[in-house]
């Protein structure tokens, strides 16, 4: 007997999908949190994020870590992957990418707490890391360190 899905209709999940042309064109989906009465941290890590420098058009690379304590909704992971990969051909500064992603997730999910760490690889010999947070971590919730070492060259 087939199990009936409790997911909202119209999700990108389980369907063929093409990479969105831009972050603005990307659709982020959310699904109901099966444990809205429980405080817990959900973490997404994207170690191969790419965007384009808006000045030179050259690729920029980052390692992103997104942590959040959900309330009523979770971000659907396939839509998040498509959204993050839509930056591949998008020109944007490090700060705009990192903070913009955090704000869009916050608007979609309205989580109890969210933080995003954008650990960017060096551009012009200097790494630019960007961190953004909204809300307060609920008391008693374990939010581990993001686990990304600060940039260190050969030294």
The average confidence (pLDDT) of the chain is: 92
The distance of Cα 121 from the centroid of its chain, to the nearest Å, equals 17
pLDDT (tens digit per residue) in 108-140 = 999 999 999 999 999 888 889 999 999 999 999
Check: pTM over 0.95? Answer yes or no.
Answer: no
Nearest to 119 by CA among 63, 39, 80, 72: 63
Q: Given this model, what pLDDT does residue 151 score?
A: 79
Instruction: State whether residue 29 is helix, strand or coil.
Output: coil
Mean pLDDT of each 10-residue bin along the chain, 155 residues long? 61 81 95 97 97 94 97 97 96 97 98 97 89 97 93 67
Q: Return the sign of the alpha-carbon dihedral for residues 152, 100, 85, 146.
A: positive
45 — alpha (psi -120 to 50), left (phi > 0) or beta? beta
CATH for the stretch 42-135? 3.30.1130.10
- Catalytic residue (choose from 29, 37, 60, 67): 60
| Cα angle 92, 96, 97; round to 5 | 75
- Catalytic residue (choose from 29, 37, 53, 97): 53
Q: What gap in Å lies between CA 68 and CA 110, rounded to an integer?
A: 10
Every domain of the chain and the residues it spans: 42-135
- Integer Rg of the chain from CA: 17
Query: What residue has token string 């999940």?
Result: 13
Q: Given this model, what pLDDT does residue 8 score?
A: 64
> Is 97 one of the annotated active-site residues of the chain?
no
> Is 53 one of the annotated active-site residues of the chain?
yes
């Amino acid at each position: 007997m087939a199990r009936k899905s409790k997911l909202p209709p119209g999700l990108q999940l389980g369907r063929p999908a093409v990479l969105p042309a831009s972050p603005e064109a990307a659709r982020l989906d959310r699904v109901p949190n099966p444990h809205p009465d429980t405080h817990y941290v959900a973490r997404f890590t994207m170690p191969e994020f790419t965007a384009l420098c808006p000045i030179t058009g050259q690729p920029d690379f980052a390692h992103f870590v997104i942590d959040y304590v959900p309330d009523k909704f979770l971000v659907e992971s396939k839509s998040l992957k498509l959204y993050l990969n839509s930056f591949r051909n998008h020109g944007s500064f490090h700060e705009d990418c990192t903070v913009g992603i955090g704000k869009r997730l916050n608007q979609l999910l309205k989580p109890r707490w969210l933080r995003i760490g954008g650990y960017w690889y060096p551009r012009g010999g200097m790494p630019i890391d960007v961190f953004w947070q909204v809300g307060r971590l609920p008391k008693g919730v374990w939010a581990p360190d993001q686990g990304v070492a600060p940039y260190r060259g050969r030294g």
